[in-house]
Amino acid sequence: MKFVDEAYIDIAAGDGGNGCVSFRHEKYKEFGGPNGGDGGRGGHVFAVADPNLNTLVDFRYSRRHEAKRGQHGMGSDMFGAMGDDVTLKMPVGTIITDAETGEVLYELLQPGEVLMIAKGGDGGFGNMRFKSAINRAPRQKNTRLAGRKKRTQARIKGLGRCRVAGHAQCRQVHTDCRHFQRAPQNCRLPVHHFAPQFGCGARRP
């Protein structure tokens, strides 16, 4: 398996759906009133720490991850469906930073930890939300809100305990090094810290 400890990822949460302007139309009911539904929420983007992964190679060749938008509202009091969420599986110890500013945004430190890294946009209100005793035939609606979009950089800063998953990763980095030795059992240093310690010429990928 190719070891990749850094990758740039473009993520985009889904936009919300627009609200609907609609009125009830039935025989013998001339003034049925507004029945336009709300738009659906856009999909979120989540990151989950998967203990079975030890590399970010999947994101090296698939950088764009976009959640679905919410459906628009419809008549007959029907609300739009929510957009499907996107879940990105990353190794434990992954740190997600802003690609432009370098600010640390999220850290996946515990196995199974789930973080929302991009929030989907809310759906707009339909005209049924604006009816009142004074305004009985509203024609107002709200447009959708855009989902958040980010350009992030994910990197494996720490690999946890070497006795759990570090040995396989250390061997991958030091494949060509004859001086490779086992790291201490309770070591929490990143992989690239072992190269100077053992006097080999291996470098970070």
> Is the pTM value of this prediction over 0.75?
no
Whether residues 171 and 82 fall in one domain: no
Residues 16 and 86 in one domain: yes
Residues 68 and 112 in one domain: yes
**Amino acid in the structure at residue 180:** F
55-98: per-residue pLDDT in tens?
888 888 888 899 999 999 998 888 999 999 999 999 998 999 98
CA 56, CA 157: separation in Å to the nearest integer?
12
125 and 202, same structural domain?
no
pLDDT tens-place values along the chain, 205 residues long: 556 688 899 999 999 999 999 888 877 777 778 888 899 999 999 999 999 988 888 888 888 899 999 999 998 888 999 999 999 999 998 999 988 888 899 899 899 999 999 999 999 898 888 888 888 888 888 888 888 888 888 888 654 434 344 444 444 444 433 333 444 444 444 444 444 444 444 444 3
SS3 annotation, 47-114: EEEECCCCCCHHHHCCCEEECCCCCCCECCCECCCCCCCEEEEEECCEEEEECCCCCEEEEECCCCCE
By residue range, what is the domain housing residue 175? 160-205
